[in-house]
């Protein structure tokens, strides 16, 4: 079965180019969407300078500059699909996205992970441009959790689940992939989002009627990126629920990691899904959004 990892980064979590290819081979991953993460240095996670390479290389447009994505792509063009998102607040962001698409062949607008509301005029303009270019947008959502890293500095990205709905309404011709704790905590219709970034997968069973499900039913331009602990944990809370969800939306969930372990494959393979659905989740949906040429 073909496997495409629809969310990963270069020089991330102890992996350089060689280690990343070795890891992809080990996990039968044919290709990977290689996403940048561009934001001012004082906006990204306080631990990132320890687990991402951009700052070590003296790059200010990090923690994952597009130049590092491009370096991997040039060395193994058949293994990587380029993602790039400028900071939408940059006055030239739309022109830069066009240049990345036209010159370097960037196919995905992402990862968008900045401390601003994603329904701001700057973001909406960039997302319209991404839609015109046929680039799906990968968005990281996080609620403000002042205690996560015991740091007075707060960590929020994008706004709330209602911000996401406004974005989906404003840009019906752009495909969006929901990702990260602030998105996945809404898989369940409970109050957990007010206090927790991550659920307890043993205790926090799914309450039907979650916003993620409502938005998927209402907006055909919403897709789901199951990467990282947030996606994996959301889909581990109630496997019967997950199986039904992945069956209903078998065309709109994408296998993705944002890490280098195999836990997301283990999860998908444990659900007893028909092979034709697994094929969609593992590669066909990604290929539908970013066709091979």
Binding site for Zn ion (CB under 5 A): 140, 180
Across the chain, the runs of DSSP E, i.e. the strands, are: 4-8, 31-34, 37-38, 63-64, 80-82, 109-112, 137-140, 176-179, 222-225, 253-254
Nearer to Zn ion, 15 or 140 (CB): 140
SS3 148: coil
Cis peptide before 62 (omega within 30 of 0): no
CB of residue 85 vs Zn ion: minimum separation in angstroms? 11
CB of residue 180 vs Zn ion: minimum separation in angstroms? 5
Nearer to Zn ion, 82 or 180 (CB): 180
CB-based closest residue to Zn ion: 140
CB of residue 103 vs Zn ion: minimum separation in angstroms? 25
Nearest-angstrom CA–CA distance, 55 and 179: 24
Q: Could you tell me which of 54, 98, 107 has the C-alpha nearest to residue 77? A: 107
- Number of alpha helices (DSSP H) and beta strands (DSSP E) in the chain: 13, 10
Angle between the N-to-C axes of helices 93-104 and 121-133, in degrees from 0 to 180, rounded to the nearest 10: 20
Nearer to Zn ion, 155 or 238 (CB): 155
Nearer to Zn ion, 153 or 274 (CB): 153
CB of residue 116 vs Zn ion: minimum separation in angstroms? 15
Nearer to Zn ion, 24 or 180 (CB): 180
CB of residue 259 vs Zn ion: minimum separation in angstroms? 11
Is-contact 141 159, C-beta < 8 A? yes
């Amino acid at each position: 079965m073909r496997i495409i990892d629809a969310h990963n980064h270069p020089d991330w979590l102890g992996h350089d180019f060689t280690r990343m290819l070795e890891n992809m081979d080990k996990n039968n991953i044919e290709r990977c969407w290689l996403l940048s993460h561009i934001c001012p240095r004082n906006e990204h996670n306080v631990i990132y300078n320890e687990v991402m390479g951009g700052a070590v290389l003296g790059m200010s447009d990090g923690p994952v500059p597009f130049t590092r994505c491009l370096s991997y792509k040039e060395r193994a063009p058949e293994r990587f699909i380029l993602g790039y998102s400028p900071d939408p607040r940059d006055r030239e962001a739309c022109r830069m996205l066009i240049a990345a698409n036209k010159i370097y062949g960037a196919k995905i607008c992402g990862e968008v992970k900045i401390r601003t509301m994603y329904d701001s005029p700057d973001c909406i303009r960039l997302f319209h441009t991404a839609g015109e270019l046929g680039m799906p947008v990968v968005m990281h959502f996080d609620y403000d959790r002042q205690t996560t890293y015991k740091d007075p500095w707060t960590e929020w990205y994008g706004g709330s689940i209602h911000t996401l709905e406004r974005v989906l309404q404003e840009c019906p011709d752009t495909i969006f992939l929901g990702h990260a704790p602030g998105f996945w905590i809404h898989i369940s219709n409970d109050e957990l989002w007010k206090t927790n970034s991550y659920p307890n997968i043993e205790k926090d069973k799914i309450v039907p009627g979650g916003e993620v499900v409502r938005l998927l039913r209402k907006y055909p331009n919403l897709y789901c990126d199951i990467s990282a602990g947030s996606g994996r944990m959301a889909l581990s809370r109630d496997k019967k629920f997950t199986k039904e969800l992945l069956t209903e939306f078998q065309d709109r969930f994408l296998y993705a990691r944002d890490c280098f372990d195999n836990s997301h494959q283990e999860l998908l393979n444990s659900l007893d899904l028909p092979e034709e659905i697994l094929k969609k989740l593992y590669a066909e949906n990604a290929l539908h959004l970013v066709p091979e040429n």
